[in-house]
Amino acid sequence: MERSIARLLVPASLAILAACGGGGGGGGGPQATGTLNLRIGDAPVDNALEVIVVFTGVELKPLGGAPFRVDFCNPTGNLADCRRIDLLQLQDGVTDDLLRNQSVAAGQYEWLRLAVVAERNRNDASYIRLDNGNQYPLYVPSGAETGLKLVRPFTVAQGGITRLVVDFDLRKSVIAPPGLAPNYLLKPTLRLVDELQTGTLEGQVDLAALGTELQKESCTAGVYLFTGSDATPDDMDGATADGPDPLVYAALTADAAGGTVASYTFPFIEAGSYTVAFTCDFAVDAAADASEYDPAATEGQPGYQSMSWVTANATVNAGETVVVDFPFTGL
């Protein structure tokens, strides 16, 4: 069922040791520093050609110290000078740098915050362009004040290099809610992980075999990853009462026109035990902000649909890739 492939996670750019100097803390003498690299990646969203987010800076909070900020924009305030990143280009482990070889004070940090410009009815800032060519502003409630905060402790070692990745899951994050037209709501679903503590999970799925296994005449396929072994699969609904939401999930489409084999890749998965679940009922998750499936509900209960799954356990090790294909092998 699993086969482990040793494969080092190589950063997009080789980090270099920072010289001693500034970094966001005070003190009368030279301050011990380390190097922080912060990259951003993404999981795909349907029906979009571009998802542009304007980043203006990163705020870091040292343990017991005052927050400090690294700005991306020039003092002119022109958004063209800020970091404009198309998140749709960052899939299957592709990332872009937010901080590269940034010298900061060594020590423990409590959280970081991504400062963005994502305002209602503002067409020159963050936006989404759909596959029909229409473009709409992306709006983050209180984004100008609070940004995108990730509360996860991390450590920057003196003279060392810390490599963090922000996994920005667009499938869970971009919503077109009633009453906000023409704006799209950017409801951030973010993970902050230490790259050196993560691995990759990938595989190939025979869609015809999956449909046969699940007794489906037609198969709208998807793959889900849940934390822990022997997890009970659930759709992505933002609620935990009916079951755990997937850590990541994705549609499965054939790699070639007319083919029956689909590939998937889940990068930057923290080391640990997981349940991989395959389904032919991915269409149930078309509305990521609503619950259409409850594992405990009686079939036919109003407001719920049925989903069927095949599952396998997988163990992800740091710096390695684990492969889970379907049909399962090695059982």
Residue 55 has a pLDDT of 93
Residue 245 has a pLDDT of 86
Instruction: Please tell me whether residues 314 and 205 are part of one structural domain.
Output: yes
* Cα–Cα distance measured from residue 100 to residue 256, given in angstroms and rounded to the nearest whole number: 37
* pLDDT by 10s per residue, the chain, length 331: 444 333 333 333 323 223 333 344 444 556 899 999 999 998 777 778 999 999 999 999 999 999 999 999 877 667 877 899 999 898 888 899 999 999 999 999 999 999 999 888 888 899 999 888 889 999 888 766 678 999 999 999 999 999 999 988 777 678 777 777 778 888 777 899 999 999 999 999 999 999 999 999 899 999 999 999 999 998 887 666 667 889 999 899 999 888 899 999 999 999 999 999 999 999 887 655 555 666 666 555 555 567 899 999 999 999 999 999 999 875 4
Instruction: Please tell me whether residues 123 and 27 are part of one structural domain.
Output: yes
Instruction: Please tell me whether residues 82 and 228 are part of one structural domain.
Output: no
* Cα–Cα distance measured from residue 76 to residue 245, given in angstroms and rounded to the nearest whole number: 43
Strands 48-62 and 174-175: unpaired
Instruction: Please tell me whether residues 174 and 41 are part of one structural domain.
Output: yes
Residue owning tokens 């990745």: 165
Sign of CA dihedral 302, 224, 44, 193: positive
Instruction: Please tell me whether residues 179 and 221 are part of one structural domain.
Output: no
In a domain, residue 270? The reply is yes
What are the tokens at 66?
Answer: 């005052």
Q: What does 39-105 look like in DSSP terms, one character per residue?
A: EEEEE--TTEEEEEEEEEEEEEEETTS--EEEE-S-TT--GGGSEEEEGGG--TT--EEEEEEEEEE
What are the tokens at 150?
Answer: 């990730």
Instruction: Please tell me whether residues 141 and 235 are part of one structural domain.
Output: no
* Cα–Cα distance measured from residue 279 to residue 66, given in angstroms and rounded to the nearest whole number: 47
Instruction: Please tell me whether residues 149 and 36 are part of one structural domain.
Output: yes
In a domain, residue 330? The reply is no
- The count of structural domains within the chain is 2
φ, ψ dihedrals at 207, nearest 5°: -65, -35
Last residue of one domain, picked from the residues 123, 153, 188: 188
Residue 42 has a pLDDT of 83
What are the tokens at 80?
Answer: 């063209």
Instruction: Please tell me whether residues 39 and 183 are part of one structural domain.
Output: yes
CATH, residue 259: 2.60.40
CA angle 129, 131, 133 (to 5 degrees): 60
Instruction: Please tell me whether residues 167 and 233 are part of one structural domain.
Output: no
Instruction: Please tell me whether residues 157 and 306 are part of one structural domain.
Output: no
Residue 144 has a pLDDT of 63
**Contact assessment for residue 66 and residue 193, using Cβ atoms and an 8 Å cutoff:** no
What are the tokens at 292?
Answer: 């259409």
Among the listed residues 43, 46, 45, 72, the one whose alpha carbon sits nearest the alpha carbon of residue 58: 72
Last residue of one domain, picked from the residues 160, 188, 216: 188
Q: What does 210-277 look like in DSSP terms, one character per residue?
A: HHHHTT-SS-B-EEEEEESTTPPP----S-STTSPPPSEEEE---SSTT--EEEEEEEEEESEEEEEE
Helix (H, G, I), strand (E, B) or coil at 14: coil
Tally the C-alpha atoms within 13 A of residue 273's C-alpha that lie toward its C-beta: 6
* Cα–Cα distance measured from residue 149 to residue 110, given in angstroms and rounded to the nearest whole number: 11
Q: Residue 204: give the domain boundaries.
A: 199-323
φ, ψ dihedrals at 191, nearest 5°: -125, 135
Last residue of one domain, picked from the residues 165, 188, 211: 188
In a domain, residue 193? The reply is no
**Contact assessment for residue 81 and residue 27, using Cβ atoms and an 8 Å cutoff:** no
Instruction: Please tell me whether residues 264 and 175 are part of one structural domain.
Output: no
Among the listed residues 196, 18, 193, the one whose alpha carbon sits nearest the alpha carbon of residue 102: 18
Residue 304 has a pLDDT of 59
* Cα–Cα distance measured from residue 51 to residue 137, given in angstroms and rounded to the nearest whole number: 10
